Structure 1
Amino acid sequence: MSNIKALPLLEPEVPEGVAPCCPPLTERPLTAEEAERTAAMFKALGDPVRLRLFSLVASHEGGEACVCDISDVGVSQPTVSHHLKKLKEAGLLSSERRGTWVYYRVEPSVMAAMGQMLTAAAPAA
């Protein structure tokens, strides 16, 4: 017999005061409004360049990145700006202008909400 113990499934922590986008997909069917909101987020991430930009911002030291630090993704600067705009419109990023540069950060609730939505509900005891 093996001495390996199964670890319990952990529910992702949602920061206090943050309303997640949607319940876990296994909890109940999404409402039309929840599906629209969720689809917009995943549609924005469905483009490889946008996904790379999102990843670059999310993983950047300090949790934010200057556009000057994330522009080298194999497309022109206007295209980078277009993709960053789409990520902002989907609610995935926020930005702040500081002098001539724009700094982007992942919205605090985004990662928790997406993680919670994709988490399987714990089996009934």
Structure 2
Amino acid sequence: MPTSRAQGRAVVCTPTRGIALDRATAIRTAAVLTALADPERLRVFSLLALAGAGEVCACRLAEALPRLGPELLDAHLEQLLGAGLVARHGRDGWAYYRLTSDGRARAAALLGSAPSPALVP
């Protein structure tokens, strides 16, 4: 076992266990963590998690988070889309959002199986 000297005494280093993330997994995980690092974006994510496998119209998200404004809400949704956590489709002139399967899995891991409605103002 490797040792080193610190102030005249031997210090034993603990060996690492397991295998480090491969580069592709580390890049993907960093993108997800970056997307969820913003408190307002995390609130948007939690609202979509409340819908489960369902979808939410952008107009409903804007109603639930009026302080964001449409431009900022759209920017947050774009970040979540880019991280692969959210999917979007248009219908009747409206944009609808839902969590991807990866987004639902991460929501369950981060927020629990049923996010609290208290997360919504």
- Normalised to the residue count of structure 2, the TM-score between the two structures is 0.66
Asked whether 1:38 is paired with 2:29, we answer yes
| Contact 1:96 1:104 (C-alpha < 8 Å) held by counterparts | yes
Structure 1 Cα separation of the partners of residues 34 and 53 of structure 2: 26
CA RMSD of aligned residues (A): 2.2
Query: Between Structure 1 and Structure 2, how many residues are aligned?
Result: 91
User: Alignment identity in percent?
Assistant: 36
Cα 1:27/1:95, change in 2 over 3 Å: farther
What does residue 76 of structure 2 align with? 83
Q: Alignment partner of 1:63: what SS?
A: coil
Determine whether 1:55 maps to 2:46: yes
Q: Does the 8 Å contact 1:58/1:64 carry over to 2?
A: no
Higher-RCO chain (CA-CA 8 Å, sequence separation at least 6): 1
**Alignment CA distance shift 1:40-1:62 (3 Å):** closer
Q: Give the unaligned 5+ runs of structure 1.
A: 1-25, 117-125
- The structure with the largest helix share of the pair is 2
Q: Counterpart in 1 of 2:58? A: 67
Say which one has the larger Rg: 2
Q: Distance in 2 between matches of 1:93 and 1:42?
A: 14
**TM superposition shift of 1:44:** 0.3
Secondary structure at 2:97's aligned position in 1? strand
Cα displacement (A) at 1:64? 1.3
Q: TM-score, normalising length from structure 1?
A: 0.64
* Equivalent position of 2:87 in the other structure: 94
Give the structure with the higher percent strand.
2
**Amino acid corresponding to residue 65 of structure 1 in structure 2:** V
SS in 2 for 1:30: coil
- CA 1:32 to 1:54, structure 2 compared with 1: closer, same or farther past 3 Å? same
Q: Deviations along 1:7-46, whole A, 9 cap, x unmatched? A: xxxxxxxxxxxxxxxxxxx853101111110010110000
Equivalent pair of 2:57/2:96 in contact (CA under 8 Å): yes
Q: Which runs of 5+ in 2 are unaligned?
A: 1-16, 110-121
The yes-or-no answer on 1:111 pairing with 2:104 is yes
C-alpha deviation, 1:110, in angstroms: 3.0
Distance 1:77 1:89 in 2: 18
